[in-house]
Chains A and B, each alone.
Chain A
Amino acid sequence: MSTPSGAAVAAGGGMVRPVGTVTDIATVARRSVRSLLREPEAMAPALIIPTFFFIVNIGALESFVERSPGIDYRAFQIPVAIIFAVTGISRASVLVIDIQTGYLDRMLVTPVRRTTLLLGMMVADIVLALALSFVVIAMGFVAGVRFETGLLGILVFLGLAVAWSLAFTGFPYTVALRTGNPAAVNSSFLIFFPFAFLTPAYLPRELMTGWMQTVAAWNPVTYLLEGMRSLLSGGWDAVAIGKASAAIGGLALVTFVMAFRSLARRVATG
């Protein structure tokens, strides 16, 4: 070739600079949030399902449950609606398409930090979980629900909801990274059912009986619901919030280890 080696070719490389983790996360997150905003229809099920259950549960059970003293059933159901809305949302469906199309490889050829590919998507998950939680809380306000712990309580409530949502994303991300199969990712939401329903979703735990009560005692969502309910109806309860946080933390530990190990395996060159 007429062009000599060295300078002319390498010159372009002078533009390349080391990139920090936060910058990489921001880059990946920018793309993820953008594609989120471009498919608002994907939010529909996440809003319809909790609204549906909120109305149906109240219609069916409100007068029955409120025979027990001290229960505001609408406030009781708002955390359930939040859990229904934010559990299982993730960008895993996008990740699995990236794997299939080879776009993930295109990013892996760049010097991008591998963990940020997942962390950036999780930023978009946080945005979505926040948006969904806002809508559900607004629905609660319309239904006459008030927070006994005030504005700070609402913020803690939002924090728990988003943290829970994020902890749960580890499942679909793990499935996406392990299988690379969109159908498998779609079915991964099934894990939502035992988590969401084997809980005091309908009745307080003291009214539950038998095996269901036992299972609920082992389900982290039970403590999440009870922590969130305390913010609505009970006033500040450090123990309840502590247990809810521990439940989220425990789940996050498990799912994040799974997800980031799966990522490491997926991007491993071995």
Chain B
Amino acid sequence: MSEAYKSGRPPAPTLRVCTYRRAFLASGPVPEAAREGAQNAAISARGLVRTFGSNRAVDGVDLGVNSGEIYGFLGPNGAGKSTTVRMLCTLLKPTAGQATVAGYDVVDRPGEVRIRIGAALQEAALDERQTGREILDLQARLYGLSAADRAASIERAVDLADIGDAMDARIKTYSGGMRRRLDLAASLIHGPEVLFLDEPTTGLDPVSRAQVWDEVRRLNRELGVTVFLTTQYLEEADALADRVAIIDDGRIVEEGPPSELKRAVGADVIVVDLPPDAIAGAATVAETVPDVDAVTRGRRGITIATADGAATVGSVAVALSGAGFHPQSLTVRTPSLDDVFLLATGYRMSALDPAAEGGDGAGGSGSRAAAAGSGGP
């Protein structure tokens, strides 16, 4: 199977997810003793703070993730995503604030939290000297699965990881995509309620990334697993998450369903690329153009929110050139999460990491008109 995997053929649609689900369902409900907080909140946090020395890595985060939801935690490197996940996974104590996961306080009842969560943390941390099957077996034993449950769970995880014969080979021979899939399968071995995925596709090629996305969607849909996913990829948050929180500098700056967040920016955006010395002046001019709702200054130009981009772009071009500004390009498109990010933080996430997304950001699939050129007569 590893060949097919590498060659990028999508895994054949199978019945195995159904089997997986049935097996979980068959084991019956778990006693709901002594849970705190709302039953429907898989994760809730209030005023979560974590400092390292004088650095406030996480600076007052409030969270409410519903059971069965895919929640995206989007932000650039160093925004505080992993630190937040480590606190929610009981690996790190909050400096201040409080959080419950699967109904239990992460500080007071870490043992209860641990048996109800699965986590695939950054970079698919696996022991290279073991085989995939051995990793799964060790994982199952640490959760105290009985011999029968263990055998069944490992078989399900083997199917889920879908790496074929490689399952019995040492992990040092695995590709990055195979490692991630094994890591994901290992984190699900005990049937967790809440799954934490910390940058699950960072460093993966597009094909492997798409496969991880499919897997996450399927887990969520078929098993109802609540997924808390951090990512620095706008596209990933947009594609996977029911709701997204945008985190910057340790704080959540926006939160909501991706579609609503984008709609809040405006129906359309006009992206104007400008030389740095022209940005401030051009922004002032653009604000005076009729039908322009908002103007945001970026590092490489300005972004204009408007109800009708196609109608407004002409007036913007005329006004700018009349004032002596000559844009390098003018682009009309539907807003992306990057525009949301820009509005909230004043800079583009895509400008930070050239490896991340194109300058247009993601989700801007609806580019309807693009007017390139200086825009002047």
Binding site for B on A (CB under 8 A): 1-19, 23-24, 27, 30-31, 34-35, 38-39, 98, 101-103, 105-112, 268-270
Contacts and interface: CB of A to CB of B under 8 A. Distances in A.
A110 B221 contact: no
Nearest to A107: B142
7 contacts: A1-B220, A3-B222, A13-B193, A102-B125, A105-B91, A106-B119, A111-B115
B77 to A, nearest CB: 17
Contacts of A102: 121-123, 125
A269 B92 contact: yes
Interface stretch (B27-35, B283-291, B309-317, B347-355): B27-35
Contacts of A34: 129-130, 134
B143 A11 contact: no
B262 interface: no
Given A10-B29, A17-B144, A111-B143, A30 B138 contact: yes
A6 B67 CA distance: 8
Given A9-B67, A101-B126, A15 B146 contact: yes
A121 to B, nearest CB: 12
Given A3-B222, A4-B68, 19 more contacts: A1-B69, A5-B39, A5-B66, A8-B223, A9-B68, A10-B29, A11-B30, A12-B24, A12-B27, A15-B149, A17-B143, A31-B127, A31-B134, A101-B125, A101-B126, A109-B117, A111-B143, A111-B144, A112-B142
B226 interface: yes
A17 B119 CA distance: 18
A9 B188 CA distance: 12
Interface string B57-78: 0000000001111100000000
A102 to B, nearest CB: 3
A10 B115 contact: no
A270 B21 CA distance: 37
B29 A11 contact: yes
Interface of B: 21, 24-30, 32, 39-40, 42, 66-70, 89-93, 107, 110-111, 114-119, 121-123, 125-127, 129-130, 134, 138-139, 141-146, 149, 153, 186, 190-193, 220-226, 242
Contacts of A39: 129
The 3 closest A-B pairs by CB, nearest first: A12-B191, A3-B224, A5-B67
A107 B90 CA distance: 12
Nearest to A98: B127
B36 to A, nearest CB: 15
Nearest to A101: B125
A8 B141 CA distance: 23
A109 B91 CA distance: 7
Given A31-B127, A102-B122, A110 B145 contact: no
A18 B91 CA distance: 20
A270 B106 CA distance: 12
Nearest to B111: A111
Contact of B242 (A1, A8, A31, A111): A1
A108 B91 CA distance: 7
A269 B29 contact: no
B28 A14 contact: yes
B276 to A, nearest CB: 40
Contacts of A11: 24-30, 191
Given A3-B223, A111-B111, A13 B190 contact: yes
A178 B170 CA distance: 29
Contacts of A106: 119, 121, 125-126, 186
A11 B242 CA distance: 23
A29 to B, nearest CB: 11
Contact of A109 (B67, B119, B134, B220): B119
Contact of B110 (A10, A16, A35, A269): A269
Which residue, B42, B123, B225, has most C-beta atoms of chain A within 10 A?
A: B225
Contacts of A17: 143-146
B145 to A, nearest CB: 5
Nearest to A31: B138
Contacts of B153: 15
A270 B26 CA distance: 39
A38 B39 contact: no
A102 B139 CA distance: 15
